[in-house]
């Protein structure tokens, strides 16, 4: 349990501010993240890493010389938004390309992927790498589906060292991907983690038992077994990872024994003794082994083992000097420590909302804002029900996240209207605010979807039904592309796709927007109900597929609810 806390919604922000002010000789505070205090060469590949808060020292603790140039962080266990990522990348870029690194989770994949697309459109060469080291999350042959856990550290360290010595973006990306393919992790838990302000953990482990193959966002293990002694735990971890040993000699490996936040360092050192013996017995030499807390999960009791198989290319990069708040390695070419100093965060310029000269567009902007306000009110009223639906096979935060995100979107939309914005600008402002405030996968999806829809609107003239259809279709296409979900995966897409198809068909047959929306809303409602019969194939519910059967998908249900809310608005403003 978190004993030292503040207002729950401000916990991550206050923790970030405290980290920056206490490590001001290494990092400087930028909104939603950190950057290096000490400047490197004027032109180099920028390594920008990130993910949710609650995993310290990941990710801010690895910003510094020889490692990452910047880190962007979201709320507790929630991806940073697309806008936040774009802002920090723009600040960190040194005109030689950018490598974006993150754990392979749905929200991160969406936000970092969409951010890369937006930045490429601005002329930046941005490469994306989701870390996939957790062997418990998908079997051999399906490595791309694996999530990232403690493997973030060695992969980002190797990428950062490559960039530091002046390698070009193609080389940095190649070496980072090679390191990722050679990195494997496996973990166990003795107790679950508790979110700040909560009075009970996200999951529990029975006394005298241990959960095998845990996740770092409160996901329980894939199996439980009686608690074993240190030697047996070490053998379990080593044996599982050696099943993934690549072909070839690979007699040397970077090794990390990682604590998850609630396991004492002394226990980890005891475990390391046995891990080391087990590795040496298999003719594997640990290279600069790390024992401690490197990727945590708040106060989770547990540990993990990570191996990165080294060769002549990767070992020098793993050994290279770095100077960060969480990791300091030296070699014969160690640089001086950056000078200390403190100051206000580096300001990130905000995009300004421009007024439209079209009276029709202003009226349309008012209508869009009214729709967002109504959606926010509806989601606030249904937050508890949506949370209950989500809790059947997830973490139960969907209702609160949707209410929080839509409330921020409503406020942003109203502010845009007060400045005389048209529908495209109003919806864009709402989209960014929703993604920023909601966090998690749902926040990423709604931010992406609304921004995609906004791209088909205009701030000049009358808003038409055809624009609405094109916007809905663009939202569907981008959500499927960046999120990787398809119909049948038990996600929001299962309701969104029939809604878009029905709306398109009805309008093409000559229906009015009101009658067409009514048919599409019915299709979305029916599809949301039908998700109860589906087995989840993506997201946090995937490992708990059996538990999910018989229950509707919360994302599909909340989307269907919004179509009903907007139907009422369309009928009143036909």
- Return the active site residues: 217
Cβ-contact 45, 96 below 8 angstroms:
yes
What does residue 195 show for φ and ψ, rounded to 5 degrees?
Answer: -65, 145
Contact 48, 100 (CB under 8 A): yes
Taking residue 370's Cβ as centre, other Cβ atoms within 10 Å add up to: 19
List b or e across 303-315, with b for residues whose CB sees 16 or more CB atoms inside 10 angstroms.
Answer: bbbbbbbbeeebb
Residues 145-158, buried b or exposed e (16+ Cβ, 10 A)? ebbbbbbbbbbbbb
Instruction: Report d(CA 155, CA 181) in Å as an integer.
Output: 9
Of 69, 296, 225, 566, the closest CA to residue 574 belongs to 566
Nearest to 111 by CA among 439, 531, 461, 516: 439
CA 416, CA 426: separation in Å to the nearest integer? Answer: 5
CB atoms within 10 A of CB 511: 17
Kindly list the distances between the CA atom of residue 356 and the CA atoms of 426, 452, 461, in Å, as whole numbers in the listed order: 11, 20, 9
- Is 72 in contact with 88 (CB distance < 8 Å)? yes
Q: Which 3-state string (H, E, C) describes 10-38? A: HHHHHHHHHHHHHCCCCEEEECCEEEECC
Structural contact between residues 160 and 64, judged by C-beta atoms closer than 8 angstroms:
no
Are 305 and 279 within 8 A, CB to CB? Answer: no
**Six token digits for residue 290:** 């790390």
Burial class for 199, CB neighbours closer than 10 Å (0-12, 13-18, 19+): exposed
CA distance 61 to 324: 6
As a whole number of angstroms, the distance between CA 552 and CA 530 comes to 7
Task: Look at residues 446, 437, 424 and name the one whose alpha carbon lies nearest to residue 375.
Answer: 446
């Amino acid at each position: 349990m978190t004993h030292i806390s503040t207002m729950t919604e401000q916990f991550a922000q206050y923790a970030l501010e405290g980290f920056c002010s206490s490590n001001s000789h290494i990092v400087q505070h930028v909104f939603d993240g950190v950057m290096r205090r000490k400047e490197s060469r004027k032109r180099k590949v920028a390594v920008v890493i990130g993910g949710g808060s609650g995993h310290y020292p990941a990710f801010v603790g690895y910003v510094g010389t020889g490692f990452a140039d910047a880190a962007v962080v979201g709320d507790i266990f929630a991806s940073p938004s697309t806008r936040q990522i774009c802002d920090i990348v723009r600040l960190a870029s040194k005109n030689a390309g950018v490598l974006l690194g993150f754990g392979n989770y749905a929200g991160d994949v969406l936000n970092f992927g969409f951010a890369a697309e937006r930045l490429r459109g601005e002329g930046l060469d941005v490469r994306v790498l989701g870390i996939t080291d957790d062997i418990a999350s998908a079997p051999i042959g399906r490595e791309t589906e694996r999530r990232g856990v403690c493997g973030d550290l060695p992969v980002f360290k190797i990428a950062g060292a490559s960039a530091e010595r002046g390698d070009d973006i193609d080389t940095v990306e190649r070496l980072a991907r090679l390191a990722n393919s050679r990195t494997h992790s496996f973990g166990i838990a003795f107790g679950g983690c508790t979110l700040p302000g909560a009075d009970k953990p996200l999951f529990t482990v029975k006394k005298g038992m241990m959960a095998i193959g845990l996740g770092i966002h409160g996901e329980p293990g894939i199996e439980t077994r009686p608690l074993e002694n240190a030697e047996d735990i070490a053998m379990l971890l080593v044996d599982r990872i050696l099943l993934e040993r690549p072909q070839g000699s690979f007699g040397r490996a970077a090794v990390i024994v990682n604590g998850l936040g609630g396991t004492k360092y002394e226990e980890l050192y005891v475990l390391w003794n046995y891990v080391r013996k087990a590795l040496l017995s298999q003719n594997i030499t640990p290279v600069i082994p790390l024992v401690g807390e490197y990727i945590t999960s708040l106060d989770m009791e547990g540990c993990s083992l990570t191996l990165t198989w080294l060769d002549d290319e990767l070992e020098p990069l793993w050994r290279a000097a770095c100077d960060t708040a969480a990791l300091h390695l030296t070699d014969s070419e160690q640089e001086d420590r950056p000078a200390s100093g403190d100051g206000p965060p580096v300001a990130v310029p905000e995009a300004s909302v421009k007024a439209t000269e079209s009276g029709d567009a202003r009226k349309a902007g008012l209508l869009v804002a009214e729709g967002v306000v109504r959606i926010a009110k509806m989601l606030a009223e249904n937050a508890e029900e949506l949370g209950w639906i989500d809790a059947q096979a997830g973490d139960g935060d969907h209702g609160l996240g949707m209410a929080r995100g839509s409330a921020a979107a409503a406020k942003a939309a109203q502010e845009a209207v007060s400045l005389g914005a048209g529908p495209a600008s109003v919806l864009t402002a709402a989209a960014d605010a929703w993604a920023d405030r909601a966090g998690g996968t749902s926040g990423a999806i709604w931010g992406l979807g609304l921004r995609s829809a906004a791209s088909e609107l205009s701030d000049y003239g009358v808003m038409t039904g055809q624009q609405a259809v094109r916007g809905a279709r663009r939202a569907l296409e981008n959500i499927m592309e960046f999120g990787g979900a398809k119909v049948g995966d038990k996600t929001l897409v299962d309701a969104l796709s029939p809604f878009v198809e029905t709306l398109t068909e009805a309008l093409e047959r000559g229906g009015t927007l009101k009658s067409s929306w009514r048919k599409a809303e019915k299709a979305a409602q029916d599809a949301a109900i039908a998700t109860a019969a589906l087995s989840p194939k993506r997201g946090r519910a995937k490992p708990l597929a059996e538990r999910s059967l018989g229950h509707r998908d919360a994302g599909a249900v909340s989307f269907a609810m919004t179509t009903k809310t907007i139907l009422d608005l369309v009928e009143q403003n036909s």
